[in-house]
A and B are shown apart, each in its own frame.
Chain A
């Protein structure tokens, strides 16, 4: 298998073909402004088409359309065309069209790309995985903070059991926006920035397998985010992030934005996961065996498989929901031969793997960081990898535990109780690995290590409370209450987001070549850790005491606890603000350079300069040993970055011969 060493670029400097004499001015080149223009044009076209379909004589020929709430058609088609316009405006189709016309694809040389400089490239459809990683990072922070503000609003309403800050409709809109935005966009909070940026560096590759698909996976997220937010202008959607039919069919126009945005994000997940799977399988450097790839890469591969296999079910479900709302199909309407259970099963067949899409990247980061800061090899490498693979496989067989009380076949419940409890075995492996790695370690309490330890603490509580939920009798009290809500915030916020923060403090020096302020980092950790636990630990008790989720009125006796939680939540929000301030201060204003290997890590990504040069490696490296050989006497360096001429091609030739012989 030959490795293509030529980096791909969609456009040359100035958007022209290499060697072209006159580069175009910036405003003529496809970028975010042309994308916005394209989206607006697309929306107007789609809206007009929808109006035509719903009102013209087309509708009289197809009574189904005439019967629908006629406003759904323009909205749905407007969104669909806006997405196409956005993507076309970014120039995604330019190379495809050129290839169809038989013209050469515009590929820029590395020098031309480097000459681009500036921040303009972060607003373009670019095929450099390092640019896509930064785009994802900034995007995800914006989405996370937006959805976090909705959470602040929810807690403000819950300060009082009776007095209303928001109308009931505004409250359910806020609940729905917070839940949906977090659950759909945070799927990529680690895979997007760190996965895309670091995987080629970690496996010794100069590029990802499908740079166009990777870039498209990012550029879908802002439009999904905006479509979801635009639901507020259409009256929001009153059904949380689950969107159970028939409520979602009965709802007003905001439901279209929910289904469209969530479906789009499903497409983004499929694209992102597909690219990473193929990259890791096909683009590893010589010597980067499966027994040597870093734990973070294992976690990303596992997450990607979950995305690729689970998200299509979501996309299908959202498509069916949209067609129920517009074309008056009856997939989910009981009286017309459909079934509301169909939606619940489709949703959770995606939804349960999704919660592991949200957990596995966290496992990957903490397992990756622990050896660096304990100065020891990862304990039980194979157990850790097996844990991630086990979670991935089992997560497809547990989804009906969300339906324990819903009236499903009662004899299925012991089965799903068993599978749900089984999944705690591979999850436990992660803790075995952590405890083994800590044994006789030399722990260095840096900021990333603090977040790593915080993640283990929080996920322990989240995981153990999950076992309570898997038991059907206990679940009967806990289901649909704040207990569940506290449980998954412990696993997602306490697990995923803490790991994301650990990753930020650990890898931002690599990705941006700057150092984040460590003092602010420590203040950020301690406030976030304290107020996170102070926010969500009492919610277990609140749920057990009988407060259902998503309510704005609750028992007077629970007011003190709810007030405590709300105030803690505001302080938690303030601690996130410390991070944002630190991030902006360190990356934009202070810009303290960090060029070497500040953590003294053996990871392959740390063996090149920070930020990595265009093309990652001057030569394809030859990997000589595993990434966690700390303290191992006589361990070779992790890789030879300047292998003698012919070694790499001989290695690939050898691999090809071996494959041919096999």
Chain B
């Protein structure tokens, strides 16, 4: 990597080879650090590997950590060496050698950093394509969709201070429970009916802003069952700090059974709701609130939380 950087004009006679004395600790430390990162740390890196998007993010973070560690260790080793070896000796009031620069070293540095940076940009772009947008909100016309076949559509509606979910393939019922099937591509349609929220399903590696009037699509395929933490990741007002809930990933059969049951159970409420659409006009908010109260669920805009502190986690 940037190992040549410390190499310098020929040293005075009797002077140790500083470049080598920096290079060797750097090499040893870098190899050790990278092996630890890749073998020990990578399987536990956030956000885990519960979904396609999460696994992809975990891989990206690990690759960048492996690249970043030698760069950091180079700078730190160099600074530490300089501080130990090149301190002013007591009584030495003379100036240091007048080195103004070295074109070859400067050019090497520029080329090396450019190569690393361009590699990262290409790598990130490839990862974005192969992981179907890697769980990030892609707006209303997603382009990273080549592998997505027959997805389950789930609409996420943000409101102060609650996420609700609609399942259009099951009659468009709306619920506060997030239940998702494994081994199926899930197509999240994230929108909002008041201010900007951000839907963050941590274990799924999905994060998409919920903008009013905007349909923000994100993809993920869940690999195994488990609990999902949902938090709002964009400051949305007073109770932003308490805007979280938990979903779960279940087997496709269990999901199908749950969804069909909910469709029947909530049929009366679904009739009161505005028809399923990609975005909603904020003026539907009072209507939806009425529907939820009728179903005994929640009156989300307004008094979902009692006027005292919210429920403790």
Nearest A residue to B120 by beta-carbon distance? A421
Q: Tell me the chain B residues, 206-230 only, with Cβ under 8 Å from chain A.
A: 206-209, 211-216, 229
Q: Tell me the chain A residues, 523-556 only, with Cβ under 8 Å from chain B.
A: 544-546, 548-556
What distance in Å separates the Cβ of B120 from its nearest Cβ neighbour in chain A? 5
Interface membership of B172, Cβ < 8 A: no
Q: Which of A417, A441, A633 contacts B125 (CB 8 A)?
A: A417
Q: Contact flags (1/0) for B86-105 with A, using CB distance below 8 Å?
A: 11110010111111111001
Q: Which of A161, A377, A476 contacts B100 (CB 8 A)?
A: A377
Structural contact, A546 and B196, CB atoms closer than 8 A: no
Structural contact, B313 and A555, CB atoms closer than 8 A: yes
Q: Tell me the chain B residues, 229-249 only, with Cβ under 8 Å from chain A.
A: 229, 231-242, 244
What distance in Å separates the Cβ of B226 from its nearest Cβ neighbour in chain A? 14
C-alpha spacing A237/B195, complex, angstroms: 14
Structural contact, A445 and B6, CB atoms closer than 8 A: no
Q: Using Cβ atoms and an 8 Å threshold, which residues of chain B touch A247?
A: 195-196, 235-237
Nearest B residue to A408 by beta-carbon distance? B139
Structural contact, B96 and A162, CB atoms closer than 8 A: no
Q: Which of A238, A468, A477, A635 contacts B205 (CB 8 A)?
A: A477
Q: Using Cβ atoms and an 8 Å threshold, which residues of chain B touch A652?
A: none
Interface membership of B133, Cβ < 8 A: yes
What distance in Å separates the Cβ of A350 from its nearest Cβ neighbour in chain B? 18
Structural contact, A407 and B213, CB atoms closer than 8 A: no
C-alpha spacing A443/B229, complex, angstroms: 51
What distance in Å separates the Cβ of A177 from its nearest Cβ neighbour in chain B? 14
Structural contact, B46 and A383, CB atoms closer than 8 A: no
What distance in Å separates the Cβ of B200 from its nearest Cβ neighbour in chain A? 7
Interface membership of B64, Cβ < 8 A: yes
What distance in Å separates the Cβ of A550 from its nearest Cβ neighbour in chain B? 5
Structural contact, A476 and B110, CB atoms closer than 8 A: no
Structural contact, B64 and A467, CB atoms closer than 8 A: yes
Interface membership of A405, Cβ < 8 A: yes
C-alpha spacing A424/B142, complex, angstroms: 29
Interface membership of A631, Cβ < 8 A: yes
Structural contact, A464 and B72, CB atoms closer than 8 A: yes
Structural contact, A471 and B64, CB atoms closer than 8 A: yes
Q: Contact flags (1/0) for B111-137 with A, using CB distance below 8 Å?
A: 001100110110111011001011111
Structural contact, A169 and B97, CB atoms closer than 8 A: no
C-alpha spacing A161/B244, complex, angstroms: 13
Q: Which of A250, A425, A431 contacts B117 (CB 8 A)?
A: A425
Interface membership of B253, Cβ < 8 A: no
Q: Which of B5, B113, B211, B282 contacts A406 (CB 8 A)?
A: B211
**Contacts A376-B95, A407-B139, A417-B121 known; A340 to B78 CB distance under 8 Å?**
no
C-alpha spacing A328/B21, complex, angstroms: 68
Q: Which of A250, A443, A464, A553 contacts B242 (CB 8 A)?
A: A553
C-alpha spacing A443/B87, complex, angstroms: 4
Interface centre among A161, A168, A239, A630 (most CB of B within 10 A): A168
Q: Tell me the chain A residues, 319-376 only, with Cβ under 8 Å from chain B.
A: 334-335, 340-341, 374-376
Structural contact, B207 and A405, CB atoms closer than 8 A: yes
C-alpha spacing A572/B128, complex, angstroms: 40
C-alpha spacing A468/B123, complex, angstroms: 12
Interface membership of B202, Cβ < 8 A: yes
Interface membership of B106, Cβ < 8 A: yes
Structural contact, B83 and A477, CB atoms closer than 8 A: no
Q: Using Cβ atoms and an 8 Å threshold, which residues of chain A touch B114?
A: 425
What distance in Å separates the Cβ of B36 from its nearest Cβ neighbour in chain A? 16
What distance in Å separates the Cβ of B264 from its nearest Cβ neighbour in chain A? 33
C-alpha spacing A414/B244, complex, angstroms: 31
Q: Using Cβ atoms and an 8 Å threshold, which residues of chain A touch B198?
A: 405, 479-480
Interface membership of B144, Cβ < 8 A: yes
Structural contact, A631 and B68, CB atoms closer than 8 A: no
Interface membership of B76, Cβ < 8 A: yes
Structural contact, B142 and A460, CB atoms closer than 8 A: no
**Contacts A443-B83, A453-B83, A473-B124 known; A468 to B76 CB distance under 8 Å?**
no
Q: Contact flags (1/0) for A142-185 with B, using CB distance below 8 Å?
A: 00000000000000000001101000110110010000000000
Nearest B residue to A339 by beta-carbon distance? B213
Interface membership of B302, Cβ < 8 A: no
C-alpha spacing A379/B82, complex, angstroms: 15
Structural contact, A456 and B79, CB atoms closer than 8 A: yes
Q: Contact flags (1/0) for B50-90 with A, using CB distance below 8 Å?
A: 00011011001100100010011001101100110011110
Interface membership of B194, Cβ < 8 A: yes
Interface membership of A230, Cβ < 8 A: no
Q: Using Cβ atoms and an 8 Å threshold, which residues of chain B touch A441?
A: 82, 86, 96
**Contacts A239-B235, A374-B96 known; A383 to B106 CB distance under 8 Å?**
yes
Q: Using Cβ atoms and an 8 Å threshold, which residues of chain A touch B5?
A: 432, 435
Q: Which of B87, B97, B242 contacts A376 (CB 8 A)?
A: B97
Q: Using Cβ atoms and an 8 Å threshold, which residues of chain A touch B120?
A: 421, 467, 470-471
C-alpha spacing A406/B137, complex, angstroms: 6
**Contacts A376-B99, A410-B138, A443-B87 known; A468 to B125 CB distance under 8 Å?**
no
**Contacts A407-B139, A424-B113, A443-B86 known; A473 to B134 CB distance under 8 Å?**
yes
Nearest B residue to A631 by beta-carbon distance? B95
Q: Using Cβ atoms and an 8 Å threshold, which residues of chain B touch A242?
A: 235
Counting chain A residues whose Cβ lies within 8 A of the other chain, the interface size class is 35 or more
C-alpha spacing A630/B208, complex, angstroms: 54
C-alpha spacing A477/B57, complex, angstroms: 7
What distance in Å separates the Cβ of B38 from its nearest Cβ neighbour in chain A? 16
Structural contact, B87 and A460, CB atoms closer than 8 A: no
Q: Using Cβ atoms and an 8 Å threshold, which residues of chain B touch A553?
A: 241-242, 244, 310, 312-313
Interface membership of B287, Cβ < 8 A: no
Structural contact, B235 and A629, CB atoms closer than 8 A: no
Q: Using Cβ atoms and an 8 Å threshold, which residues of chain A touch B53?
A: 473, 476
Interface membership of B13, Cβ < 8 A: no
Q: Tell me the chain A residues, 455-497 only, with Cβ under 8 Å from chain B.
A: 456-457, 460-461, 464, 467-468, 470-477, 479-481
C-alpha spacing A418/B282, complex, angstroms: 37
Structural contact, A476 and B134, CB atoms closer than 8 A: yes
Interface membership of A438, Cβ < 8 A: yes
**Contacts A162-B312, A453-B79, A477-B47 known; A633 to B98 CB distance under 8 Å?**
yes
Interface centre among A161, A246, A374 (most CB of B within 10 A): A246
Interface membership of B170, Cβ < 8 A: no
Q: Using Cβ atoms and an 8 Å threshold, which residues of chain A touch B196?
A: 244, 246-247, 340, 406
**Contacts A242-B235, A407-B211 known; A435 to B98 CB distance under 8 Å?**
no
What distance in Å separates the Cβ of A345 from its nearest Cβ neighbour in chain B? 13
**Contacts A376-B99, A425-B117, A436-B105 known; A442 to B211 CB distance under 8 Å?**
no
Q: Which of A240, A246, A457, A474 contacts B194 (CB 8 A)?
A: A246
C-alpha spacing A383/B110, complex, angstroms: 10
Interface membership of B177, Cβ < 8 A: no
Interface membership of A444, Cβ < 8 A: yes
Q: Using Cβ atoms and an 8 Å threshold, which residues of chain B touch A453?
A: 79, 83
**Contacts A340-B212, A428-B109 known; A172 to B139 CB distance under 8 Å?**
no
Structural contact, B79 and A410, CB atoms closer than 8 A: no
**Contacts A453-B83, A473-B134, A546-B46 known; A414 to B128 CB distance under 8 Å?**
yes
Interface membership of B143, Cβ < 8 A: yes
Q: Using Cβ atoms and an 8 Å threshold, which residues of chain B touch A380?
A: 100-101, 106
Nearest B residue to A414 by beta-carbon distance? B125
**Contacts A340-B196, A467-B64, A546-B46 known; A376 to B117 CB distance under 8 Å?**
no
Structural contact, B141 and A410, CB atoms closer than 8 A: yes
Nearest B residue to A338 by beta-carbon distance? B213
Structural contact, A377 and B282, CB atoms closer than 8 A: no
Q: Contact flags (1/0) for A373-392 with B, using CB distance below 8 Å?
A: 01111011111000000000
Q: Using Cβ atoms and an 8 Å threshold, which residues of chain B touch A381?
A: 100-101
The 6 lowest CB-CB distance pairs between A and B, nearest first, are: A631-B95, A334-B213, A480-B233, A407-B216, A473-B134, A551-B241
In the complex, besides A239-B235, A383-B101, 7 extra interface pairs with C-beta distance below 8 angstroms are A334-B213, A442-B89, A467-B120, A476-B57, A477-B207, A546-B229, A550-B235
> What are 10 residue pairs bridging A and B, where the CB atoms are less than 8 Å apart in the complex?
A162-B312, A172-B238, A340-B213, A375-B88, A379-B100, A407-B208, A410-B142, A413-B128, A473-B135, A546-B231
